[in-house]
Every structure is written in structure tokens, then in C-alpha cells.
């Protein structure tokens, strides 16, 4: 078959998906039917779908067929995400997934339908979770450097919910939270919402300036320090044992709490003691299974000192009554049967592979990232404006975040945060090459 025919079919389907004629979730003709419809060979039909899958437009599900992927995507951490003209690659938000995960969920749903306790998943449980569920999390946490009884675990609907709960427990309107000057944008949203004052201390890819933090905590009444000690998002630093010890000492001396965000810590499991282990009397450890299992499931947990257990449960009740019984049932079974451990192993090698690609494609540029992480920080030359670059890339269907979303001061650095975990692996080099090209060819 002439190549132009194959290209025409790919282009036709691409246009129908992008303009919405083929809605997300639509089941496409089987390979055989597509071949018949267009009078092409079966192998060519297979190539057509493979090409569309590489572009992230369709997904093949073994035994079920080929489906149009949801192009809507995530709403963006800063809520001001630029709508892409067409979707090629999302480098703005990490949603890593292993290939077999949809199939694994299907199998779990099948088993649940056949033999599960459906009455139990239809009913509301205790706001913190059942003891058996919290015990599954507590056992999992042993390998993450946290040794607590199930009672100190409170289930949440993900880390963002967990952070909200921690802030409800530790603050009232006007309270001060100390944060890295570049930090995870979700904390900015929450501080805004709860009328808290975020006071930044300097930090860069080498780590936080703890002298500045110590001075800040001495001069002002800081209710809590928000910290991401392992694989800081977005700067990529991992604090040394000594830095962690110093942070614990500062918190003790100034009598403030620590909110430790461990969402990405599984990617560097031996990175040093958790802040919870170093300062168990004042640390609220917040984490989830969003990046190691799936962002869409919305499952997380807070680990809290005894003094905060009942207030944390109250905060969960006030915000949501508790987690979804269905999701909790699935996730705790995956925690206990080794599925989560297996996926974490996969993620660790996947992140390294993606970082190798990024370091290779962006070599010679001002790119900082830990080889273990799913993100990197790309400093731009002075003459290039990060928002112009982001817009230009969006026109090409590539989403990136500018430093502004992560910045707590009024002078954001001229940088992009690149999230590497969402595009299909074969698509990543092309997207990063385009980033390189757009930055390097930006007009003087």
C-alpha cells in the first residue's frame, strides 16, 4: 500500500479525535474492520493504531479493543494552564502508569464483582479507615522509614487532601507556614484558601538555606515548616542526614510543627531518615499512592503524632467524612499482595530511564534534576521569557509549567519545570527535543 494512504488514514483519525468527532472513550473499529473499511492490509491497520497510540490519541486494551484517549487531561496545578492547540505531550504534570495497570484494575474489579464484600464497599467506615486498612499502610511504611502503630495512620484522598488536613490541624487564619521559596504549588492553593501566610526561605537545587530558616523561625511565630526532604518538587534536591537533623533541631528550638511531604519519597527509598523518625512528636507526614500507583485513585495517608490523632480524624470528618470504601478496599489489597512494591520498582527504573533521556536531549542547557526523580528544572537564558516559551510549546501541543506556579516570592526565576512521567516513553525524546529547539531558537 502506498505510504500516502496509510498517512491519510492516520491524519483522518487524528483530526476526528482532536476536533471531538470521536469522543474520549469511543471504541474504534477492530483492526480487521478498519482494514476492511479502508481496503488495506491487516498489518497496515495495526500500524495505523500503533501510530495513533504513540501520539497518545488512542489506547489499546487487550481483549477489548482500541479506545480514544481522553485528551482533556489534568486541569493544572496553578489553575491557569494554557490550553494546547493539540495534545502531543504533557510535560506539566506527572501521571506515571505502567502498561498493565488498566488490565490489573479490570481483573481486580472482576474479582470484586465475583467474590468481594460489596455490602462493605457501599457503607461508610470510620473517618480514619478500618484498623486492618491502617495496619496495611503501617506495614508498608516500615520500608519507608516510619514505624508506627495503625492508630497513628489516618487515610486520606491523596496528598493534597492530606496537606489540607494537616493545615486544618496546625493552623488558624493568619498562621505562618515557612516554605522553600520554590515549592509544590498545591501548598500555595491551600494557604490562599485558608488565609495562611506563606513565608519563604531561600532554596535552590542544592537544598534549603537552613540558616535563613532558623533566623525566620526565631524572628516570627511559625506554626509549621512545610518540607519535601526527599526529591523536592520541583528543585530535585534530597536533604542529607545532617540537613534533616538540623531541620529537626530548628523545629524543636522554635517549637513549630513539621509537615513532611513524602509523595515522591518512594523513588529514593534510602535517602535518609524521615523527618517523622527524627522528630516524631511534631511531624505530620503526608503521602499518597498517586505517583506509585495511580493519580486517579485518590488514596493517601497522614502519619501523625499521638497528640494530633483525634484532631486529624475530626479534620477528615469535616472535609470528607472519610475515604472511598471501594478505592480503599482495592488499594489496601494491592499494598498487602505486593502490587505496590512491584509498581514502585518499575517506577524507579522508569524515572531513571526518562531522566537519562532528558539529560541527553537537554545536555549543555541549564537543566537540574535528580536521576531518581520524574521532574527537572530548566533555567532559561536571560533573553528568553518562560511564558513565551510555554505558549509556543503549547501551540505545538506540548505542555510545560513555568516557575511562576512554584514560586512563593514575587520574582519567579526564569525557568520551566518539566514533568517527565506522563508521556508514553517513545514520545518523550521528541517532546524534549522540541523544548530544546524552542528555547535555543528563541529570538534575541
Ligand X SMILES: Cc1ncc(COP(=O)(O)O)c(C=O)c1O
User: Where do contacts with ligand X occur on this chain (CB under 6 A)?
Assistant: 158-160, 184, 186, 228, 233, 261, 263, 288, 290, 295, 300
- Preceding omega of 234 cis (within 30 degrees of 0): yes
The C-alpha angle with vertex 203 and arms to 199 and 207, in degrees rounded to 5, equals 135
How does DSSP assign 365-376, residue by residue?
SEEE--TTSSEE
Spatial separation of the C-alpha atoms in residues 322 and 302, rounded to whole Å:
13
User: At 417, is the secondary structure helix, strand, or coil?
Assistant: strand
If the CB atoms of residues 140 and 184 are measured against ligand X, the closer one turns out to be 184
The CB-of-156 to ligand X minimum distance in angstroms stands at: 8
Of the two residues 187 and 257, which places its CB atom closer to ligand X in the complex? 187
Q: Crossing angle for the helix pair 339-361 and 325-336, nearest 10 degrees? A: 90
Q: Please, what is the minimum distance in Å from the beta carbon of residue 215 to ligand X?
A: 25
Neighbouring residues of 109: CB distance < 8 A, sequence distance ≥ 6 = none
- Nearest CB to ligand X, comparing residues 145 and 186: 186
* Extended beta strands in 164-209, E state: 176-180, 197-201, 203-204, 207-208
Comparing CB distances to ligand X, the nearer of 348 and 388 is 348
Q: At its nearest, how many Å lie between ligand X and the CB of residue 244?
A: 17
The nearer residue to ligand X, 28 or 182, going by C-beta atoms, is 182
CB of 112 to ligand X, least distance (A): 23
In the bound state with ligand X, the residue whose beta carbon lies nearer, of 158 and 208, is 158
Q: How far is CA 40 from CA 6, 27, 215, 303, in A?
A: 8, 20, 71, 58
For the bound state, the minimum distance from the C-beta of residue 292 to ligand X, rounded and expressed in Å, comes to 10
Q: C-beta of 289: minimal distance to ligand X in Å? A: 8
Of the candidates 201, 245, 242, the residue with the CA atom closest to the CA atom of residue 219: 201
Which C-beta is closer to ligand X: that of 286 or that of 394?
286
Give the residue with the Cβ less far from ligand X, 67 or 74: 74
Cell of 285: 507526614
Angle at 163 between CA 277 and CA 143, to 5 degrees: 35
With vertex at residue 420, the alpha carbon angle to CA 413 and CA 146, rounded to the nearest 5 degrees, is 90
Nearer to ligand X, 135 or 286 (CB): 286
- Return the number of the residue (288 or 370) whose C-beta is nearest ligand X: 288
> Measured from the CB of residue 187, what is the shortest distance to ligand X in angstroms?
8
Phi, psi of 301 (to 5 degrees): -155, 145
Strands of the sheet with 257-261, listed across from one edge: 153-156, 300-303, 283-288, 257-261, 222-227, 176-180, 197-201
At 2 the three-state DSSP class reads coil
Q: How far is the CB of 272 from ligand X (least distance, A)?
A: 17
Q: Is the dihedral of CA 74, 79, 84, 89 positive or negative?
A: negative
Distances (CA, A) of 206 to 175, 179, 231: 28, 16, 11
C-alpha cell read off for 386: 518562560
* Rounded least distance, CB 42 to ligand X, Å: 41
- By C-beta, is 90 or 261 nearer to ligand X? 261
In Å, how far are 40, 248, 395, 417, 420 from 304, measured between CA atoms? Answer: 61, 16, 45, 31, 31
Q: 182 is written with which cell numbers? A: 520554590
Q: Least CB distance from residue 264 to ligand X, whole Å? A: 6
At closest approach, how far in Å is the CB of 52 from ligand X? Answer: 28
- Give min distance, CB of 158 to ligand X, in A: 3
What cell was used for 44?
A: 497496515
Instruction: Compute the distance between CA of residue 148 and CA of residue 145 in angstroms, rounded to an integer.
Output: 10
Whose Cβ is closer to ligand X: residue 66's or residue 271's?
Answer: 271
User: How many whole angstroms separate alpha carbon 163 and alpha carbon 186?
Assistant: 9
Cα separation of the two ends of the chain? 46
Amino acid at each position: 500500500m502506498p505510504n500516502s494512504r496509510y498517512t491519510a488514514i492516520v491524519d483522518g483519525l487524528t483530526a476526528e479525535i482532536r476536533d471531538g468527532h470521536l469522543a474520549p472513550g469511543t471504541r474504534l473499529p477492530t483492526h480487521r474492520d478498519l482494514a476492511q473499511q479502508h481496503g488495506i492490509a491487516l498489518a497496515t491497520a495495526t500500524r495505523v493504531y500503533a501510530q495513533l497510540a504513540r501520539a497518545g490519541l488512542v489506547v489499546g486494551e487487550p481483549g477489548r479493543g482500541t479506545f480514544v484517549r481522553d485528551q482533556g487531561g489534568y486541569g493544572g496545578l496553578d489553575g491557569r494552564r494554557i490550553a494546547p492547540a493539540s495534545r502531543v505531550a504533557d510535560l506539566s504534570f506527572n501521571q506515571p502508569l505502567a502498561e498493565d495497570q488498566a488490565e490489573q484494575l479490570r481483573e481486580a474489579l472482576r474479582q470484586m464483582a465475583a467474590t468481594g464484600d460489596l455490602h462493605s464497599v457501599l457503607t461508610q467506615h470510620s473517618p480514619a479507615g478500618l484498623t486492618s486498612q491502617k495496619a496495611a499502610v503501617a506495614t508498608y511504611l516500615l520500608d519507608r522509614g516510619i514505624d508506627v502503630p495503625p492508630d497513628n495512620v489516618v487515610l486520606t484522598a491523596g496528598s493534597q487532601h492530606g496537606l489540607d488536613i494537616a493545615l486544618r490541624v496546625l493552623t488558624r487564619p493568619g498562621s505562618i507556614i515557612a516554605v522553600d521559596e520554590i515549592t509544590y504549588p498545591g501548598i500555595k492553593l491551600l494557604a490562599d484558601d485558608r488565609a495562611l501566610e506563606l513565608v519563604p526561605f531561600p532554596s535552590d537545587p542544592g537544598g534549603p538555606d537552613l540558616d535563613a530558616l532558623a533566623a525566620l523561625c526565631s524572628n516570627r511565630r511559625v506554626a509549621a515548616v512545610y518540607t519535601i526532604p526527599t526529591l523536592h518538587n520541583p528543585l530535585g534536591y534530597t536533604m542529607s542526614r545532617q540537613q534533616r537533623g538540623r531541620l529537626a533541631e530548628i523545629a524543636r528550638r522554635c517549637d513549630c510543627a513539621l509537615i513532611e511531604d513524602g509523595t515522591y519519597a518512594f523513588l529514593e527509598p534510602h535517602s535518609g531518615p524521615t523527618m517523622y523518625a527524627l522528630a516524631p512528636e511534631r511531624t505530620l507526614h503526608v503521602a499518597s499512592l498517586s505517583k506509585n500507583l495511580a493519580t486517579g485513585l485518590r488514596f493517601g495517608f497522614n502519619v501523625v503524632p499521638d497528640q494530633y490523632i483525634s484532631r486529624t480524624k475530626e479534620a477528615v470528618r469535616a472535609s470528607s467524612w472519610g475515604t472511598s470504601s471501594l478505592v480503599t478496599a482495592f488499594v489496601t489489597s494491592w499494598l498487602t499482595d505486593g502490587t505496590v512494591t512491584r509498581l514502585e520498582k518499575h517506577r524507579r527504573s522508569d524515572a531513571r530511564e526518562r531522566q537519562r533521556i532528558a539529560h541527553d536531549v537537554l545536555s549543555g542547557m541549564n537543566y537540574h534534576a535528580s536521576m531518581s526523580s520524574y521532574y527537572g528544572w530548566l533555567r532559561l537564558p536571560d533573553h528568553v521569557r518562560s511564558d513565551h516559551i510555554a505558549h509556543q510549546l503549547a501551540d505545538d501541543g506540548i505542555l510545560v509549567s513555568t516557575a511562576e506556579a512554584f514560586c512563593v516570592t514575587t520574582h519567579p526565576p526564569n525557568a520551566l519545570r518539566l514533568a517527565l512521567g506522563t508521556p508514553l516513553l517513545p514520545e518523550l525524546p521528541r517532546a524534549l527535543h522540541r523544548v530544546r529547539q524552542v528555547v535555543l531558537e528563541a529570538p534575541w
